[in-house]
Amino acid sequence: MKNILFVASESVPFIKTGGLADVVGSLPKCFDKKHFDVRVIIPYYSCMKEALKEQITYRDSFYMDFDWRRQYVGIMETVYEGIHFYFIDNQEHFACEKPYAGMPYDLPKFAFFSKAALSILPVIDFRPDVIHCHDWQTGLVPVYLSDTFQEGEFYRGIKTVMTIHNLKFQGVWNLEETRSIVGLPPYYFAPDKLEYKKDANLLKGGLVYANAITTVSRTYAEEIKMPFYGEGLDGLMCARSNDLRGIVNGIDYDDYNPETDASIVKTYNAQNFRKEKVKNKIALQKELGLNEDPKAMMIGIVSRLTDQKGFDLIAYMMDELCQDNVQIVALGTGDEKYENMFRHYAWKYEGKVAALIYYSEAMSHKVYASSDAFLMPSLFEPCGLSQLMSLRYGTVPIVRETGGLKDTVQPYNEFENTGTGFSFTNYNAHEMLATVRYAEHIYYDKKREWNKIIDRGMAMDYSWQSSALQYQELYDWLVG
Ligand code: ADP
Ligand code: GLC
């Protein structure tokens, strides 16, 4: 039996701002329980839903040296769908309206979290063989492990994996301040360790000290070795390329299942989608005040509204796109300029564009189920889960060929009758529009072909099964 510990800043169902939470909450369930005991540690945020907090109980507490004082570390726990979750409680750090406040606020918060996650292990009596860290918020875990925690027998020999979900975010802050907060010796703040362009970089610490590095698709694993996608760490990624692998994300096939989904008006499956799926579209048109037209091609968007997701291309093309017979439903929150962009077009093209500027799990399921196509023209995309959810719901993804989008959506080829979606190569607004229009053409003029694209998409398997095996292999290789 191998013990594996996930340490992360978010996890469904407790707290979610993006795909990271989906991964951390769904992957642990998919390991072979006979050989792997996988547990998860996340912060005990005050903004978690009350109903979920009620299921979480107090386990223990102690005081830990951090930032020149002794700070309270509460250990909370629950078992959810068979997985043991631990929560680090300290309301000075984790009382919040949302998990992230940006730098510098997030620096002491997640440095404290990383150190506390290691400190609680003897108390909960769980010695992991592998600690699997996710993103910059946990970048200090491998560093603390190799330093502060090497004195006791307990921690020696524990291996670490650092998974990059998004290289854009690295936890960078002023070197002197960071050093004084995290409390590591000056030795660590050198250019071959945590120092980065005269600042301190927490993710870099994790990438230097972890035994293995993974990221969430094969293509992204290659891309980040190049300057355009490397966010300044491409040199390090090249240097560690022997220890870097890309393992594509899956999604929870129970949570995202058009056949059983309680959030949608009409359930359907790969056999009956031709008749049943459209009922969701009609219901959503009614609900959102869009023109009630079962034939109109509905294009869905569910996303954080940031430039990563290609909204500059969309903003540039909205007027032209809206001349076509399409409806656009955009669900998302984020940068004000994109929120207002969608609000503006919803006003300008009333009945054709719906701007849903909020976060709602239930509405996201409705959009995946109701739309005919799903637009995701990302500038970069480590993996992307929304296109996988779309495929699962028989909604045809239109994507840019980058990162996980390239690995999971096969472009339609009308001569060979292959493909599960539509894609384009360059980050170029006209290329995107031409691809959307090509999709419109197939949708309106070659409906049988369109439906076959859906057949192929719904037949794909992006559950966790095969990727969980790859993580198991990695753990086996590390631990021996
Ligand atoms: P990222 O992690 O970069 O945001 P992913 O595609 O990996 O992108 O994951 C995004 C996740 O967040 C998906 O589960 C998607 O459905 C969800 N999501 C994004 N915005 C919203 C929203 N406004 N309401 C509900 N779910 C959302
Ligand atoms: C990040 C990436 C996204 C990926 C998710 C989960 O948020 O932006 O592409 O799917 O992490 O790994």
SS (H, E, C) 186-248: HHHCCCCCCEECCEEEHHHHHHHHCCEEEECCHHHHHHCCCHHHHCCCHHHHHHCHHHEEECC
Instruction: Check: CB of residue 66 under 8 Å from CB of residue 112.
Output: yes
Q: Does the beta carbon of 385 sit less than 6 angstroms from any atom of ligand 1?
A: yes
Instruction: Check: CB of residue 409 under 8 Å from CB of residue 420.
Output: yes
Which among 303, 335, 359 is the best mutation to test ligand 1's pocket, defined by most ligand atoms within 8 Å of the CB? 303
CA of 371 to the centre of ligand 2 (A): 22
Helix (H) or strand (E) segment spanning residue 121 = helix 121-124
Minimum CA distance residue for ligand 2 atom 1: 165
CA of 448 to the centre of ligand 2 (A): 33
Domain covering 273-461 in this structure, CATH number: 3.40.50.2000
Q: Does the beta carbon of 214 sit less than 6 angstroms from any atom of ligand 2?
A: no
Instruction: Check: CB of residue 264 under 8 Å from CB of residue 258.
Output: yes
CA of 240 to the centre of ligand 2 (A): 21
* Residues β-bridged to residue 74: 61, 89
Minimum CA distance residue for ligand 2 atom 7: 19
What's this model's pTM, rounded to 2 decimal places? 0.97
Half-sphere exposure of 192 toward its Cβ, with a 13 Å CA cutoff?
3
Minimum CA distance residue for ligand 1 atom 2: 19
CA of 443 to the centre of ligand 1 (A): 26
Give the atom of ligand 1 at the shortest distance from the alpha carbon of 388. Answer: 6
Q: Does the beta carbon of 249 sit less than 6 angstroms from any atom of ligand 1?
A: no
Q: In what order do the strands lie in the sheet with 172-174?
A: 172-174, 199-201, 195-196
CA of 386 to the centre of ligand 1 (A): 7
Q: Does the beta carbon of 215 sit less than 6 angstroms from any atom of ligand 2?
A: no
pLDDT of residue 12: 98
Q: Does the beta carbon of 201 sit less than 6 angstroms from any atom of ligand 1?
A: no
Minimum CA distance residue for ligand 1 atom 24: 359
Q: Does the beta carbon of 183 sit less than 6 angstroms from any atom of ligand 2?
A: no
* Residues contacting 445, CB < 8 A, separation 6+: none
| Domain 2-250+465-479 = CATH 1.10.287.70 | no
CA of 155 to the centre of ligand 2 (A): 30
Tokens 């009333």 belong to residue: 350
pLDDT of residue 377: 98
pLDDT of residue 480: 85
Nearest to 383 by CA among 234, 243, 256, 218: 218
pLDDT of residue 148: 85
Determine the Cα–Cα distance for residues 325 and 184; give it in Å rounded to an integer: 60
Q: Does the beta carbon of 384 sit less than 6 angstroms from any atom of ligand 1?
A: yes
* Residues contacting 93, CB < 8 A, separation 6+: 43, 108, 109, 112, 113
CA of 381 to the centre of ligand 2 (A): 7
Helix (H) or strand (E) segment spanning residue 273 = helix 273-288
Q: Does the beta carbon of 397 sit less than 6 angstroms from any atom of ligand 1?
A: no
Residue ranges of the chain with per-residue pLDDT less than 70: none
In the chain, CATH 3.40.50.2000 covers 2-250+465-479, 273-461
Q: Note the ligand closest to the C-alpha atom of 363.
A: 1
* Residues β-bridged to residue 413: 418
Determine the Cα–Cα distance for residues 184 and 217; give it in Å rounded to an integer: 33
Determine the Cα–Cα distance for residues 105 and 171; give it in Å rounded to an integer: 11
* Residues contacting 344, CB < 8 A, separation 6+: none
CA of 294 to the centre of ligand 1 (A): 26
Minimum CA distance residue for ligand 2 atom 3: 384
Determine the Cα–Cα distance for residues 22 and 250; give it in Å rounded to an integer: 9
